[in-house]
Every structure is written in C-alpha cells, then in structure tokens.
Structure 1
Amino acid sequence: MARFIALILIAGSTLLAACNTIAGAGEDISKGGQAIHNSAEEAK
C-alpha cells in the first residue's frame, strides 16, 4: 500500500511539472498560429 501511495505522489508531481511544459508549448503554438494569420491577412 505504501508503494502505491508513493507511486501516486510521484505521478502527481510529474503531471504538475508537465502542465507547465504543455502550457508553454501551447503558447508557442498559439503565437505561431497568430503569425500565420497575420501573414494571410497582409497577403489579401
């Protein structure tokens, strides 16, 4: 049972750290999409 609790705590910590990474990647993708949108608007 102690191993299971330790595993849950480790998995939870990993997921919290991954959220920050995913949020940063999402911001980068959003900025890239905005740049493409702006280029398309300028080309009209």
Structure 2
Amino acid sequence: MSRYLAIACALFTLSLAACNTIAGAGEDISKGGNAISNTAEKAK
C-alpha cells in the first residue's frame, strides 16, 4: 500500500512541475486524481 502511495505522490509532484498556467495546474491535478483513483481500484 505504501508503495502505491509513493508512486501516486511522485506522479502528483511531476504533474504539478509540468504545468505552466493555473488552468494547466487544474487539469494536471484532475489527471493526478484520476490516476490515484485508478490505482486504488486496481489494488482492491
């Protein structure tokens, strides 16, 4: 479980670092949330 959390945090950090605008940040956060949700569903 902690491994998935570490991966999710790393992806979230990378997505925030990649955005250049506030709108881009919102999209990146949304994509990060989707990735975390998908990972959680797979871990069930």
**TM-score, normalized by length of structure 2?**
0.53
Question: After the TM superposition, which residues 29-44 of structure 1 pair with which residues of structure 2 at under 5 Å, given as runs?
Answer: 29-41=32-44
Q: Which has the higher contact order (CA 8 A, sep 6+)?
A: 2
Structure 2 residue runs of 5 or longer lacking an equivalent are 1-19
After TM superposition, give the deviation of residue 37 of structure 1 in Å.
0.2
Q: Does structure 1 residue 21 correspond to structure 2 residue 24?
A: yes
- The root-mean-square deviation of aligned C-alpha atoms, in Å, is 1.4
Higher helix fraction (1 or 2): 1
Corresponding pairs, count: 25
CA distance in structure 2 between the partners assigned to 1:25 and 1:39 by the alignment: 21
Q: Percent identity?
A: 4
User: Which contiguous aligned blocks of 4+ residues in structure 1 show a shift greater than 6 angstroms?
Assistant: none
